Amino acid sequence: MWTGKRPNMSFMKIWGCKAYVKHQMSTKIKPKSQKYTFVGYPKETKGYYFYNKNKVFVARTGVFLEKEFLRKSGKGRNIELEEVQQQQVIEPEVEGISQAVEENPTDLETQPLRRSTRECHEPERYGFLVTTHGDVILVDQDEPKTYQEAVASPDSEKWLEAMRSEMNSMLENQVWTLVEPPEGIKPIGCKWVFKKKTDMDGNVQTYKGRLVAKGFRQIHGVDYDETFSPVAMFKSIRILLAVPAFHDYEIWQMDVKTAFLNGKLEEDVYMTQPEGFVTLENARKANPGEGHWTTVKNILKYLRRTKDVFLVYGGEEELRIKGYTDASFQTDKEDLRSQSGFVFCLNGGAVSWKSSKQDTVADSTTEAEYIVASEAAKEAVWIKKFIIGLGVIPSISDAVDLYCGNNGAIAQAKEPRSHQRSKHILRRFHLIREIIDRGDMEICKVHMDDNIADPLTKPLAQQKHDRHTKSLGIRYVSDWS
């Protein structure tokens, strides 16, 4: 039936390719999937036919290794197949059609096969890009998953150069020593992780190749005792951007090509050699439903509407941290938990924020607001300590103002003793009282129309939402360029 729409052919797979199919019943020890050969499509149900060891079965889905199949397609052997002709029997359901077939049997045998005259193009790769018409599309960067894919790709020279740079950097920093593994030691594996870094327009700027150890095979207490993950938090970067924006300083950006933790490993770690380099001789769950797709479409609509929006700092007369908190009572109808939201602003823009479901059930709106105020108080302590270390904001020596819209929560936070209404609140949330008592923070009342944390917990009218986001420093390019 012609509908005027292009049919969805995403379910079509390359016949004969290998695929991993998940077992219906699995154990902790045995593999959760096994490799089979794709051999066709069943007529009675949706799925695929798979073959292995004289057994053909139907499975709903699998992980198809089509790229691997295409790479090996030129290495096979030619097989001559004997043509088998079967006499066709045509049932005379319609008299006119049966007569036409009987009158011109030779036409059917000599008629050449019809070939499509359309030009063949490689499939579009999807990812996160915005077209000139304002449409958001998905673009897959087509990054290789393995070393073999990297060296076989059209960008193989660029990936090889990225891997050489990684190996040279490790050699210069004396990351490893090439040795024979001691007896009884099984080295852990390693793998290459490939990444394309793009600019704002989606153009590839840098090819990155990182060699990582498969540390998940190590045992805590046997192979190591401590773990470290030195990363920069975005809220720290935003604070550092807000300060020079206030003083109209210039910001110089630098890129560290390869960063290593400045420390020595106390344990000996043995790792296998990476593919393509050093040798001793040359030194996944749930099936998406309609609700999920609706959510995805809403996200894409939001991205299209906000593609020209930026976080801007500036316009304040004094560098001073201000915090706002809000909570929506029992918004989750399944577990009756409330939604928390807080935001801290500096020099007219947000530097730290959080929106999350509370991990305990609140008994009232006051309790929900008290819980989020306690979480925001801990964040205020961290921000205060970080800015004191910078030594560039004199006002940080004063208490950080935290604005809350619930009088009951404010009274609870200022009350040094527990009473009947708060005795069931978990003890860890009362830390806010100690923070206020030592002068690190002051909790204040804010009118519901001026609480800029509202967008983090609830839907708002368009006018109010735009007013609050502007107060958070979120503005369109046309408003400040």
- 33-68 pLDDT, tens per residue? 888 999 999 887 888 999 887 788 888 888 898 888
For 75-124, the pLDDT digits (tens) are 555 555 455 444 444 444 434 333 333 444 444 444 555 555 655 544 44
Q: What is the pLDDT of residue 307?
A: 86
**Does residue 456 lie within any of the structural domains?**
yes
Range with the lowest mean pLDDT among 42-51, 132-141, 158-167, 333-342?
132-141
Q: With pLDDT > 90 as the criterion, what percentage of the chain qualifies?
A: 32
Q: What is the pLDDT of residue 481?
A: 58
Give yes or no for residue 476 having a pLDDT over 50: yes
Which domain-ending residue is among 181, 210, 230? 230
pLDDT in the model for residue 107: 44
Provide the 3-class DSSP secondary structure of residue 2: coil
Report the CATH number that the domain containing residue 467 is assigned in CATH. Answer: 3.30.420.10
**Position with higher pLDDT, 3 vs 343:** 343
pLDDT at 126 over 70: no
The span from the CA of 223 to the CA of 3, in Å, is 62
State mean pLDDT over 428-457. 93
Specify if 282 maps to a domain. Answer: no
* Minimum mean pLDDT range among 11-20, 89-98, 106-115, 451-460: 89-98
> Would you place residue 1 in the very low, low, confident or very high pLDDT band (cuts 50, 70, 90)?
low
Residues 295 and 189 in one domain: no
Asked if residues 476 and 309 have their Cβ atoms less than 8 Å apart, the reply is yes
Of 187, 208, 230, the last residue of a domain is 230
Does 389 share its domain with 466? yes
305 & 382 share domain: yes
Q: Are residues 61 and 135 in the same domain?
A: no
In a domain, 115, yes or no: no
Do residues 323 and 460 share a domain?
yes
Instruction: Give 47's DSSP letter.
Output: S
**What is the β-pairing status of strands 48-51 and 56-59?**
antiparallel
Query: Model confidence at 183, in pLDDT bands (50, 70, 90)?
Result: confident
Residue type at position 9: M
Residues 364 and 467 in one domain: yes
Both 467 and 329 in a single domain? yes
What is the rounded end-to-end Cα distance, in angstroms, of the chain?
53
Token pair belonging to 386: 């970080």
Is residue 330 within 8 A of residue 336, CB to CB? The reply is: yes
Residue of higher predicted confidence among 422 and 19 = 19
Is a pLDDT exceeding 80 seen at residue 387? yes
The Cα–Cα gap between 118 and 182 comes to 62
- Asked whether residue 412 is assigned to any structural domain, the reply reads yes
Helix (H, G, I), strand (E, B) or coil at 102: helix
What pLDDT, on the 0 to 100 scale, is given for residue 154? 85
Measured CA to CA, the distance from residue 55 to residue 78 in angstroms comes to: 25
Q: What is the pLDDT of residues 214-246, one digit of tens each?
A: 876 666 655 555 665 567 788 999 998 999 999
pLDDT band of 386, cuts 50, 70, 90 = very high
Q: Which domain holds residue 171?
A: 123-230
How many domains in the chain?
Answer: 3
The reply to whether 328 and 403 lie within a common domain is yes
Average pLDDT, rounded, for the chain: 79
Q: Can you tell me the distance from the alpha carbon of 35 to that of 241, in angstroms, rounded to the nearest whole number? A: 52
Concatenated DSSP letters for 4-30?
A: SS----TT---TT-EEEEE-SS--SSS
Of 230, 257, 277, the position where a domain reaches its end is: 230
Q: Is 88 contained in some domain? A: no
Q: pLDDT confidence of 258, banded at 50, 70, 90?
A: low
**Arithmetic mean of pLDDT, 466-478:** 90
Is 449 found in the same domain as 317? yes
Give the angle 343-345-347 at the CA atoms, nearest 5°. Answer: 170
221 and 295 inside one domain? no
Tell me what pLDDT residue 128 has: 44
- If asked whether residues 62 and 197 sit together in one domain, one would say no
Amino acid at the residue 416: P
Same structural domain, 369 and 435: yes
Average pLDDT over residues 424-451: 91
pLDDT for res 76: 52
**What pTM does this model have?**
0.53
446 in Cβ contact with 343 (< 8 Å) = no
Q: What is the pLDDT of residues 262-307, one digit of tens each?
A: 566 677 888 888 887 775 454 444 566 788 888 889 889 988 888 8
Which of 126-135, 154-163, 435-444 holds the top average pLDDT? Answer: 435-444
pLDDT at 141: 57
Task: Please indicate, yes or no, if residue 78 is contained in any of the structural domains.
Answer: no
Residue 90: predicted pLDDT: 40
What is the distance between the alpha carbons of residues 134 and 410, in angstroms, rounded to a whole number? 45
Is 378 among the domain residues? yes
Q: What does DSSP say about strands 322-328 and 400-404: parallel, antiparallel, or unpaired? A: parallel
Q: 396 lies in a domain?
A: yes
CA 347/CA 244 separation, integer angstroms: 10
